[in-house]
Amino acid sequence: MIKLIVGLGNPGKEYAFTRHNVGWWVLDKIAHKFNEEFSKEKFKGIVAEIPGKAGKVTLLKPLTYMNRSGESVIEAVKFYKLKPEEILVISDDLDMPVGKVRMRLKGKHGGHRGLMSIEKHLGTDKFPRLKIGIGRPARKEEVVNYVLQPFTGEQLTVIEQAVEKAADWASETINGKPIEAKSASF
């Protein structure tokens, strides 16, 4: 059973609507579905607690910035004495087209520094993940600027549908449904 859902992103108003923060967008949708708010600072992040079918599920937005997300996650893991399979991590993915959503039981970081940091701190890549495609810029050297920019008008409509689907899938785990590999595109 999932006991911790982590949405990856960066703190600060300047990052709120960027491609790199879609993990936080999903957590906001989940909290809204369950009428909860991110009201506590804990584990180098902000948390909301959702009553789940098998007990409380913690939603965590690390405040450590993307590249150090593992520092926040490991604090929560140690506090709750969690196994990697009890954590669901939600992140953006450059290698998937805008609007594609994919859930897996484990995986590789694919160069994503937030996932790298979590893998380093957990000592494994065997934790469930939910990825949302943000597409890739035309030139490789533009990646840093690309992930820290907002979606374009056309992309925003698609990404909002993808975020809603990701929130639905993550919410199912709160209600006791086991994680299963699946994907959808918008």
Q: Give the up-direction half-sphere exposure of residue 32: CA atoms within 13 A in the CB hemisphere.
A: 10
Q: Tell me if residue 20 is catalytic.
A: yes
Choose, from 20, 32, 112, 121, the residue flagged as catalytic.
20
67 is in an annotated binding site: yes
How many other C-beta atoms lie within 10 A of the C-beta of residue 178? 10
Q: What is the DSSP letter of 10?
A: -
10 is in an annotated binding site: no
146 is in an annotated binding site: no
Q: Give per-residue burial for 63-90: e unless 16+ CB within 10 Å, then b.
A: bbbbebbbbbbbbbbeeeebebbbbbbb
CB of 174 closer than 8 Å to CB of 130: no
Residue 89 CA: distances (Å) to CA of 138, 153, 158: 27, 27, 21
Residue 164 CA: distances (Å) to CA of 36, 82, 86: 17, 27, 22
Residue 103 CA: distances (Å) to CA of 36, 106, 136, 178: 24, 9, 19, 12
- Residues annotated within the binding site for tRNA are 15, 65, 67
- Residues annotated within the binding site are 15, 65, 67
Which residues are known catalytic residues? 20
